[in-house]
Amino acid sequence: MRIVTLVSILIVVGVSSCSSDVAKKDVQQPSSQPRRTTTAASPLATVQQFLAWYRPTQDSLGSLPIVPAWLTDDGDTSDIYKVDFRVAELYLNVFRASGFVSEGYLVNERRAIQKADSTMQADRQSSGPPQGLNYDQVVFSQDPASDLEKLLRTTPTTTVRGDTARVYFSQLPEPADLREGVDLEFLLIRPQGKWVIENIRPVFID
């Protein structure tokens, strides 16, 4: 969710109250049309298909004005950052329509956005990248395009226990074209015979 690298755009559908400065910008809203997925896909295939779906979608998702005041930051310290939750729901709906994630995943992401909103307002943040939203929360990186390419070339380990699974991407050493950064853990569940992603989290190794 590289929410923080937002570029100013206009959300045509469902967002009528963004700031007038934002409203003057052009927009291409990410598609939220349901996507057909292979119900027999393994946990690893599900994660790989999800990353392949996310790669061309990430840029438009990262452009949504979830924190409008940040887009129009003019040094006015009275304009405290806050989340536009209607835009946040548009963001979450794109993931829901992909067919790759569970409702539990969406609940966790919504809570993360709510926590970021509370932090920004408690700290009265009015400049700089929005706290808690300054990295992509799918690959936990500030350079998601590059990291996505590396992830798609990395072979993770997969552990399956009944209707739960874990797909784990470890850091890789040199050569430099292989993936570096935090380890990533994808947790999956299988409701009604189809694997879906329940959680994605970074694993920091000392």
One-character DSSP codes across 179-206: --SSEEEEEEE-GGG--EEEEEEEE---
Residue 82 half-sphere exposure toward CB, CA atoms < 13 A = 10
37 has a pLDDT exceeding 50: no
Domain extents for the chain?
20-203
pTM of the model: 0.76
- pLDDT (tens digit per residue) in 163-201: 999 999 987 554 444 445 678 999 999 999 999 999 999
Could you tell me which of 1, 8, 52, 57 has the C-alpha nearest to residue 32? 57
- pLDDT (tens digit per residue) in 89-116: 999 999 999 999 999 999 999 999 999 9
Could you tell me which of 66, 44, 173 has the C-alpha nearest to residue 114? 66
